Chains A and B, each alone.
Chain A
């Protein structure tokens, strides 16, 4: 299937918040029962339709444990969007958000579009972080915000789609330039076919580099 754009996405946040399960739910549409911890990085991709445009998401699911931080940093470069994940039943994972945010903005790009995901929404009885508190945090830090459940699938697709939509809007408004190096955005193969003209040759060679 061909796509109009390709966005590089990151999934970041503390260990055990459900990052890999979110990715699995998004791609496979089911909950990963026997999820293993992530060592380094896992990789997934999916084409979604956002307002009539086909966007290929190239998703980098990173290891959350502190030990892996220096290695996972090498995955950030040129990411256009990120899911920043915490666990609503663990304040510790919420408290770590500022660090993750700093890393993302510093290492990926200042313009990276981030959606905050309060995962494990299904475990409401064990909740330690309220919706209100997290949405204030999101507002202060210019993040989008959703509470998600990788178990039930609630808001999982939405999180990815909302993030992609925001990036598309920014492209349309000219705030983001897909042709700028390191934007984390590339033209997809469909767009390239339409746009094939000498001026676009550069964009095409960027596509081939595949980053």
Chain B
């Protein structure tokens, strides 16, 4: 559930490994060595990317039973290592935010798009391009990742409430039902908004949604409308369900046709 269908992609070797780092003649340490040896915060990056555990003690060797996460032989690096490097450098350059769980879900679709580009020139520069785009995207959404801003005007709590206030305008019956069941937006919309829906749909669909988001003048206002569309599209089920059923629906969203959702969101946008 909610894994990249192309998760295997991230474990495959890249077409253009970073020669500078991997050249044994060079004295650069690879990140895979560094994260094992240092007590840097970035260690969580390494462990979280592999999705196994985040082990806090650097000296420990965790038996890694998942063969697909095995480190590739010298001279090769896997796509996830590139992504890890991007996150590591971002965290180093932005110590105020550092690394927060979920950033990998933001960088993943960007990197995937560049690294699978049919044009080999694009592919070759995927890492740099992803870093550039990720940094720019984060400049717009980083407030979501900063705890101290949670309750401010630009924080995530405000945005979650905005989903409900928009819903109230568009479908008051559904709004009242969710209120009555005490289903707060924190219970599902936190993930929807923070990760720009990247955990709710399959990777190709996520890319399709992001395309619409980024193309819209008011991108993240449109995201609120997409969230509302997702709610109103399952309104009949939600109106009938009890708390448990509804929480399941919202945590494991049942519709996979993103075109339907985007169309509905557009409708909501135009109906203003």
Chain A interface (Cβ within 8 Å of chain B)? Answer: 15-16, 18, 33-43, 45, 56, 58, 63, 65-71, 74-75, 87, 89-93, 120, 123, 126, 128, 208-211
Contacts and interface: CB of A to CB of B under 8 A. Distances in A.
A15 B101 contact: yes
B150 interface: yes
A35 B51 contact: yes
Interface in B233-272: 242-244, 247-248, 251
Across the A-B interface, the 8 shortest Cβ-Cβ residue pairs: A210-B243, A16-B54, A40-B190, A92-B56, A211-B182, A37-B101, A39-B191, A210-B181
Listed residue (A70, A92, A210) with the most chain B CB atoms within 10 angstroms of its CB: A210
Nearest to A56: B244
9 contacts: A16-B47, A41-B186, A45-B244, A65-B100, A70-B150, A120-B53, A209-B180, A211-B181, A211-B243
Contact of B190 (A39, A90, A91, A210): A39
A209 B244 CA distance: 11
B208 interface: no
Contacts of A70: 147, 150-151
B244 A34 contact: no
B87 interface: no
Contact of B150 (A65, A71, A208): A71
A87 B7 contact: no
A211 B101 CA distance: 28
A39 B181 contact: no
A89 B55 contact: yes
Contacts of A91: 56-57
Interface residues of B, number: 47
Contact of A58 (B48, B186, B194, B244): B244
Majority SS at the chain B contact face: loop
Given A39-B195, A39-B199, A69-B147, A74 B251 contact: no
Given A15-B44, A37-B102, A65-B101, A90 B56 contact: yes
B98 to A, nearest CB: 9
Contacts of A35: 51-52
A87 B194 CA distance: 27
Contacts of B182: 209-211
Nearest to B105: A39
Interface string B191-211: 100110001000000000000
Given A39-B105, A58-B243, 9 more contacts: A16-B44, A37-B51, A39-B102, A41-B187, A58-B244, A67-B145, A90-B56, A91-B57, A210-B243
Given A39-B195, A211-B243, A18 B53 contact: yes
Contact of A39 (B54, B60, B101, B180): B101
A35 B3 CA distance: 9
B243 A74 contact: no
Given A16-B55, A89-B60, A37 B247 contact: no
Nearest to B198: A39
B60 to A, nearest CB: 6
Contacts of A211: 181-182, 243
B101 A67 contact: yes
B48 A37 contact: yes
Nearest to B246: A210
B138 to A, nearest CB: 14
B186 to A, nearest CB: 5
Contacts of A68: 101, 147
Interface string B1-12: 011000100000
Contact of B3 (A15, A36, A67, A87): A36
B211 to A, nearest CB: 22
Nearest to B147: A67
A177 B147 CA distance: 36
B184 interface: yes
Contacts of B186: 40-41, 71, 74-75
Contacts of B194: 39-40
B66 interface: yes
A153 to B, nearest CB: 15
Nearest to B97: A67
B156 interface: yes
B139 interface: no
Contact of A126 (B2, B60, B242): B60
